Structure 1
Amino acid sequence: MTGIQSCGPWRDTDGEYLDVEAAISFTQAFQDQHGGGDCGLHWAATSGWCLYTADKEDRYLSGVRWPGAGLLPEPRLVTAFVDAFRLDPAMSGSSEQPSYRQDGQDIPILLDRLAPYLPAQPYLFEEPQVRFADLHRRAYENRVRRALVSGACDPLTHLHLRQGELTALLHLLEYTESTNPSTLNRLLAADLSARAGQPPQAAETHKQALQEANHRRQTP
């Protein structure tokens, strides 16, 4: 996932009434696996979730699949639907759009049904996009920490990098550090820089990021 969007009831330029909508966008790698054009999850307050794909050249929708699991299915069902789509798009869900409610009708009831998906506790950020960015950052930081901790007893790999590739990787880590400051990012970049051109034993000498990850795991 790379972002989320949402909007309340609105009217288009022709005055036609349009209902509540939301969307989840995916990485370019996900899009490339399914034609290279725009691809993501869309939620319509009349029909629930669907996964759409667009043609790479003209950007027109080339396929829409609906899970048919109701207006507000459990998140695990939506996740299972996306997994099924990645395995076999043509056999996941249905191409027929379901209808669970009318445009613009019973908005208070709809809001009541959406209420359980709001944060249980007051959140630092009110905007959904900002909340997502914060959760997105923390999710990847946790992945980095778990990967480093699991590597404490991992065997050394034999990955040969060109100097330019290593430099590019360090630049990416530096960019990540500049946009989302993280001690793990900084220490990992320092470790890799220090090991460049050194014998395999350097991995045991330069492992500050691993030690920091272990410390975070043990800290309540």
Structure 2
Amino acid sequence: MSAELSRRAGHYAAAVAERLLEADLPVTGIHSCGPWRDTDGEYLDVEAGISFTQAFQDQYGGGDCSLHWAATSGWCLYTAMGQDRYLSGVRWPQAGPLPEPRLVTAFVGAFRLDPAKCGSIEQPYYRQEGQDFPFLLDSLAPYLPAQPCVFEEPQIRFAELHRRAYEKRVHRALVSGTSDSLTHLYLRQGELTALLHLLEYAESTNPIALNRLLAADLSARAGQPPEAAETHKRALQEADHRRRQEP
């Protein structure tokens, strides 16, 4: 039962992460675990979590800033420095043990606007630790994937959601408007080369045409006058072509 609780909690975290990605939040991963004991032998309940990029975490004092879900208390967003695990800046939305993903996304949005006034510092308790696991299994069932044979494991499901979300972001940015003004950004040759390496790596992990074409566009206009931006824009044309094909 512990493994199945962990799996279902992971799918719940993936469903929440999907909403966060749709809101353009920089989610990097999910995790979950079933009932377990920590190094001190203390019994702990089912948990899950969602992580963000370091740049996102740095906006709130640096250190660690993540979403944590406890099957006894629901979600919280915590900030922590050093060895302090997640109790230094924790905020609870008081939305029940299994709030809908859209409510968790709204909570994160409110936290970003005003961390001090978002939610509560008081941890709620909606169920007793270590109890009613069959009921918890049933409560998590609605968040299992519609295609269980394809996305049986939460990490595989999240990886696909993550890929699609960033592909949409790149696509949307490239077709944001044909009248986009040119921005003046001076790069050292080494910085441009590093960026091209990152795009090449992105293509190797997510082989879509936009990665390759964007790298080619940037390479072609390096050292060229501003007019080169109009001459070399195959990634923009590909993104526009995809936009026109959308239903």
TM-score surpassing 0.5?
yes
Among 161, 164, 189, the alignment partner of 2:215 is 189
- 1:1-150 alignment, distance < 5 Å: 1-13=27-39, 15-55=41-81, 57-61=82-86, 62-122=88-148, 124-150=150-176
Segments of structure 1 that go 5 or more residues without pairing to the other structure are none
- Is residue 202 of structure 2 the alignment partner of residue 154 of structure 1? no
Counterpart code for 2:112: R
- Percent same amino acid at aligned positions? 81
Report how far residue 28 of structure 1 moved: 0.3
Report how far residue 217 of structure 1 moved: 2.0
Distance 1:216 1:94 in 2: 44
Q: How many residues of Structure 1 are paired with residues of Structure 2 in the alignment?
A: 219
Deviates more, 1:91-100 or 1:155-164: 155-164
Distance 2:53 2:223 in 1: 34
Distance 2:148 2:85 in 1: 40
Report how far residue 132 of structure 1 moved: 0.9
Distance 2:187 2:127 in 1: 56
Segments of structure 2 that go 5 or more residues without pairing to the other structure are 1-26
**In the alignment, is the contact (CA less than 8 A) between 2:217 and 2:232 conserved in 1?**
yes
Deviation by residue 1:24-77 (Cα, 9 ceiling, x = unmatched): 01110121112211110110000000111111x334442211110111112222
Query: Aligned to 1:91, what secondary structure does the other structure show?
Result: coil
Distance 2:149 2:99 in 1: 24
Deviation by residue 1:111-138 (Cα, 9 ceiling, x = unmatched): 2111111222335232212211221111
Over aligned residues, Cα RMSD in angstroms? 1.9
Counterpart code for 1:97: Q
Among 221, 224, 228, the alignment partner of 1:202 is 228
Report how far residue 15 of structure 1 moved: 4.8
Distance 1:197 1:178 in 2: 26
Query: Aligned to 2:159, what secondary structure does the other structure show?
Result: helix
After TM superposition, the runs of 4+ consecutive aligned structure 1 residues lying more than 6 A away are none
Q: Which has the higher contact order (CA 8 A, sep 6+)?
A: 2
- Is residue 198 of structure 2 the alignment partner of residue 172 of structure 1? yes
Distance 1:119 1:201 in 2: 48
Task: Find the structure with the greater CA-based Rg.
Answer: 1
